[in-house]
Structure 1
Amino acid sequence: MMITRIYQPDEYEAAAKEIQLGELIAFPTETVYGLGADATNEQAAKRVYLAKGRPSDNPLIVTVSSQAMMERFTGPVDKRAQRLIDHFWPGSLTLIFNVAPGKLSKTVTGGLTTAAFRCPANETTRKMIAAADTPIVGPSANTSGKPSPTTAQHVYHDMNGRIAGIIDDGPTKVGVESTILDLSKGQPTILRPGAVTPEEIEGVLGCPVLADNHHVGKTEIPKAPGMKYKHYAPAAQVLIVATDEWPEALRWADRQEKKVGVMASAVLKKQTSHPFFDIGADVATASRRLFAGLRYFDSDVPVDYILAPAYPEEGLGMAYMNRLRKAAGDQFFHG
Structure 2
Amino acid sequence: MVATFTPPRPLQNPHVQTILASLAPRKVAATIRASKLRKDSKEYILNCGNGIRLLGAISRNQKNSKGLVTLIHGWEGSIDSAYLLSAAGVLYEQGFNVFRLNLRDHGKSHHLNKALFNSTRLDEVVQAVAEIQRLFPHDHHFLTGFSLGGNFALRVGLRAASAALHLTKIATVSPLIDPVAATINLEEKHPVYHRYFVRKWKQSLRIKIQLYPDIDDQQTLLRLHSLTQMHDYFVPRHTDHPTTHAYLSAYKLSRQQLASLEIPTHIICSTDDPITAMPGGDLSTLSPIVDIEQVNFGGHCGFLQDFRLTSWADQRLVEIFQAATI
What TM-score, normalized to structure 1? 0.26
Q: Which has the higher contact order (CA 8 A, sep 6+)?
A: 2
